[in-house]
Amino acid sequence: MPTYRYECAKCEKIHEIFHSISEPPKKKCPDCGGKLTRLIGTGGGVILKGAGFYTTDYRSDSYRKAEKKEADAPKAANEGGGESKGSESTKAEKSEKSERSEKSEKSERSERSEKSEKKSAETTRKRKKSSD
């Protein structure tokens, strides 16, 4: 049950009255019997408890697995007596893959822009022909 704030027109006191939502608003001041007007409040405080309030709580299974592999990789390297050449090559492979994916994304974007430019040029030509 919420707490509502009321102001008395006669004594100008502000009262905080605890009552149900379905109950009609109070009309008489409990102190002097004057007319009460309900004030607009800021609302109730919201308490966010439990899981699900952060972006990391909704990660996909594949992301979690990859994250776990990355977390386990340094542990395995430390157990083996330091960094191995294998982990260095894996890092190099990952950076190469990311570079390749960036390049492929850029080439796809440029291809798309070229296609859209060609289409717009064709439509412009068709409009000119139809207007002539």
pLDDT digits (tens, 9 = 90+) for 89-121: 676 677 777 777 777 777 788 888 788 888 888
Residues whose CB falls within 8 Å of the CB of residue 34, separated by 6 or more in sequence, listed in order = 8, 9, 10, 11, 28
> 57 CB contacts (<8 Å, ≥6 apart)?
51
Q: What is the pLDDT of residues 15-29, one digit of tens each?
A: 998 888 899 999 999
Contacts (Cβ under 8 Å, ≥6 apart) of 74: none
Paired residues of 15 in beta bridges: 6
- pTM equals 0.33
Render pLDDT for 33-80 as a digit per residue (tens, 0 to 9): 999 999 987 666 776 766 666 666 666 788 888 888 888 887 766 665
Q: Is there a contact between 29 and 8 (Cβ–Cβ < 8 Å)?
A: yes
Q: How many CB atoms are closer than 10 A to CB 29?
A: 19
Q: Are 72 and 90 in contact (CB under 8 A)?
A: no
Which residue from 1, 27, 29, 25 is spatially nearest to 15, judged by alpha carbons?
29
Locate 27 and state its tokens: 């009309």
Please give the backbone phi and psi of residue 32, each rounded to the nearest 5 degrees, phi first: -115, -10
